[in-house]
Chains A and B, each alone.
Chain A
Amino acid sequence: MIVAQTGAPPDTAAYYHVAYAWAVAVYVGYLAMIWARTRRVRSRLAALESGGARARREP
Chain B
Amino acid sequence: MSSASFDDAAGRSPEAPNGPVALGITGRRFDWLLVAAVACMAVAYVRAIFFTPIEALQGAAQKIYYVHVSAAVNAYLALGIVALMSIVYLWLRDERADRLAESAGEVGLVFLTVVLTTGPLWGKPIWGAWWTWDARLTLTLFLWFLTAGYLVLRGAVDDAAMRARYSAVLGILAALLIPFIHLSVYFFNTLHPMPIVLKPDRPSLPNEMLVTLLVFFGACTVLCLALIRLRYRYAVGRDALLGLESEGGDR
Contact = CB atoms under 8 A, between A and B. Distances in A.
Chains A and B touch each other in the complex, with CB atoms below 8 Å apart: yes
Interface of A: 1-5, 7, 9-13, 15-16, 18-20, 22-24, 26-27, 30-31, 34, 37-38, 41-46, 48-50, 52-53, 56
A10 B59 contact: yes
Contacts of B230: 31, 34, 38
B121 interface: yes
Contacts of A3: 53-54, 56
A19 B230 CA distance: 25
Contact of B25 (A13, A41, A48): A41
Contacts, number: 141
* B interface majority secondary structure: helix
A34 B234 contact: yes
Contacts of A5: 56
B238 A4 contact: no
A48 B234 contact: no
Contacts of A15: 60-61, 64, 121-122, 124-125
A19 B118 contact: yes
Interface residues of B, number: 55
B137 to A, nearest CB: 15
Contacts of B50: 1
Interface in B195-239: 206, 223, 227, 230-231, 233-234, 237-238
Contacts of B22: 45, 49
Contacts of B223: 27
A30 B74 CA distance: 15
Nearest to A50: B3
A34 B121 CA distance: 27
A19 B61 CA distance: 9
B56 to A, nearest CB: 4
A31 B228 CA distance: 10
